[in-house]
Structure 1
Amino acid sequence: MNRLERIKGCLLGGAVGDALGAPVEFLEWPVIEAKYGRHGITDFTPAYGQIGAVTDDTQMMLFTAEGLLRAYVRGSSRGICHVPSVIHHALLRWLLTQGEVPAIHVSADGWLISEKALWARRSPGTTCIGALKASQHLGSLAQNHSKGCGALMRSAPCAFFAKAFDYAAEAGRLTHGHPSGYLAAALFADILQRMVDHAGSLEKAVVDSLATHGHKPGMREVRELLERVLFFVREGYRPTPERIGELGGGWVAEEALAIGVWCALTADNLEEGIIRAVNHSGDSDSTGLVAGHLLGVEYGAAAIPARWFQRLELRAVIERVAEDIVRVPRDYCGYGGEEDGWIEVAYPGG
């Protein structure tokens, strides 16, 4: 499987998990079971008035990807670029699509913001909205102590650039001030990067990522929960709605990451893992997105069932972003480089 197929699988798989979990995000497991049967939700059902709708998680993931691509253009044309500030600018464009007014001027250029479907408001997280509205300058850090999962949800595109861990951590701090909030995002991007670049197993990627980053300051909560999941997997404990509930609801970053990793590690295929990840009494769309990103990298976009793939909102947009990302040199890290004429039109760097 080539790099493009892994990147497409990652981004599309995350969006599929997001869309499958969206209708049950705020439902307790007994309610989900009563409504959909003992296996829970297994197919797209209406959310936000349509089938296959994604949430703010996928929207912000796409704008994060746009920010990274614009940073490449800016770094190539100017020789240096502060990547988190360019991602911040992209996230403020997302804020515009939600009907909010940033405190600083935002350029509404580029092709992504013109996609009408991205202007839908899909229960955006109050932490992200509040932090972005409060920003007084590009690159300013969030003035809160939140460890909600909003930074984690949008961090996958960082995996496809050289400084994945650093970019995801710095971008996470734009909206989430608690170390678990932004370091879970950083570790997730690092795990995905190891899978994309080295085509290794998910378990090895998690173990290696923890060995490299697990003892950094502020990482304790994230590390301990992932180590608990690795223990579960090695002891043969498979996730059930009840067991997931004992681990957590996924509303905070370390829990969402742990649940997604657990469901992905114990699945025989992408479909099984995503279904497990959304069927519990918690943040179903977020945990489904995490599992979908991981399983999409592992199995590729071809593993997504046709009944999901064909009805996924923004599918063509996600595929275009993946194709654009793969055209950037994988070792690009924010300084200099050569860029083609096509990318400056699509992703103006300012």
Structure 2
Amino acid sequence: MTQALSRHDRVLGSLIGGAVGDALGYQVEFDAWPFIAAEFGPAGVTEMRFNRVSDDTQMTLFTAEGLLLAAPGGEVESVRKAYLRWLNTQREPMPPMASEGLAAQPWLYARRAPGNACISGLAAHDRVGDASDWRARTAGVNANSKGCGTVMRSAPFGLRHSPAAAYDLAEQCSALTHGHPTAGTAAGAFAMIVSHLVNGETPQRAVSETMLHLRRDLGRSETADALQRAYMHAGTVPPGPNTCAKLGEGWIAEEALAIAVYCFLGTDDVRAGLVAAVSHGGDSDSTGSVLGNLYGAAYGHAALPREWSSQVEGREVIAALAGLLSAEPVSESAV
């Protein structure tokens, strides 16, 4: 077990850490490594010039809100409705009158390169509305998509639920927008790792237990293989600028998770790990966000670089959600 930390400190650390990694990576999302090196230097993205978060943090917060508002057994439907509220923030310039909760926060209405599958998948649900047969009428949404949009939003499942329940809920909610099985497996694996960490497991054990869970089903092999490559890479190549290139660019679910896990297992230096996770050509905000969630859950809020965690966009709202999310952990029997 890692050092004794309160549940609140781990939850706060995970949500703020995710926002920090997101903001660092959003500065260079879509940029190739040579351009990043020329702009920030060969050491990579070592400074937060802008504190803006992307759709990664936005959707993570709406996941948390959906879980907080859910009745036992109604988590998927509550998260679905929360995602539809997020969809409205991407369509409107500011909160409509009488908006409540996250939907009343003007800063969340910024459109920061949201994923196409998230937008189109939720649009299908929006057309159905609150119909009782929405599951049948939206089955197979984006059936071939396994973009990382399902992974980057799934930490709250692990912050709120047991490892097994977190996996199942993240997998089910992944299918709201991404129909490819690997999208669900990667989201579930991420949520399971986070849950193990919040329970005090070491990074190595949290990842190993999750890999064992994946290996029980051949249909999960794509994600399991990606995590195995990350595990091996972490043991041979210390994380640094562009050292994750061997694992992909992070646009798809299992690659984003693998890059974050590689950096997570490769170093417990939070600053160095976050720099490595975003200093590459690809989906830098997502890989940074996922790693920040992992680091915060493992080492707590105090382990995050203060000059980054203190200034990240939306900090007060994120901290308030963390307080609510950590107040009453849900038992597995409630899911």
Instruction: Give 1:119's aligned residue.
Output: 109
Instruction: Give 1:215's aligned residue.
Output: 216
| Structure 1 counterpart of 2:259, one-letter code | I
Contact 1:259 1:287 in 2 (8 A): yes
Contact 1:161 1:333 in 2 (8 A): no
Contact 1:225 1:254 in 2 (8 A): yes
| Structure 2 counterpart of 1:301, one-letter code | H
Contact 2:121 2:141 in 1 (8 A): yes
Answer yes or no: is 1:85 the counterpart of 2:86: no
Q: Which runs of 5+ in 1 are unaligned?
A: 46-50, 76-80, 101-106, 336-350
Instruction: Give 1:9's aligned residue.
Output: 13
Change (3 A) 1:242 1:278: closer
Instruction: Give 1:227's aligned residue.
Output: 228
Change (3 A) 1:330 1:269: farther
- The superposition leaves residues 9-60 of structure 1 with CA deviations (integer Å, 9 ceiling, x where unpaired) of 1111011000000010111111101111110111112xxxxx2000001000
Instruction: Give 2:294's aligned residue.
Output: 294
Instruction: Give 1:23's aligned residue.
Output: 27
Q: Give runs of aligned pairs for residues 268-283 of structure 1, distance below 5 A.
A: 268-283=268-283
Q: Give runs of aligned pairs for residues 221-260 of structure 1, distance below 5 A.
A: 221-234=222-235, 236-260=236-260
- The superposition leaves residues 198-239 of structure 1 with CA deviations (integer Å, 9 ceiling, x where unpaired) of x121111111111123332531111001111212233x2223
Change (3 A) 1:230 1:329: closer
Contact 2:242 2:279 in 1 (8 A): no
Q: What displacement does 1:333 show? A: 4.9
Give the Cα separation in 2 of the matches to 1:240 and 1:97.
36
Give the TM-score, by structure 2 length.
0.90
Instruction: Give 1:344's aligned residue.
Output: none
Contact 1:142 1:177 in 2 (8 A): yes
| Structure 2 counterpart of 1:148, one-letter code | G
> How many pairs align?
317
| Structure 1 counterpart of 2:141, one-letter code | Q
- The superposition leaves residues 66-121 of structure 1 with CA deviations (integer Å, 9 ceiling, x where unpaired) of 110111xx33xxxxx33211100000000001117xxxxxx985321111111111
Instruction: Give 2:86's aligned residue.
Output: 94
Contact 1:16 1:292 in 2 (8 A): yes
Instruction: Give 1:262's aligned residue.
Output: 262
Give the Cα separation in 2 of the matches to 1:108 and 1:131.
26
Instruction: Give 2:51's aligned residue.
Output: 52
Identity in percent: 43
Instruction: Give 1:175's aligned residue.
Output: 177
Counterpart selection for 2:46 from 35, 42, 47: 42
CA RMSD after TM alignment: 2.0
For the residue of structure 2 that corresponds to 1:250, the secondary structure is coil
Contact 1:83 1:334 in 2 (8 A): no
Q: What displacement does 1:262 show? A: 0.4
For the residue of structure 2 that corresponds to 1:63, the secondary structure is helix
| Structure 1 counterpart of 2:208, one-letter code | V
Instruction: Give 1:147's aligned residue.
Output: 146
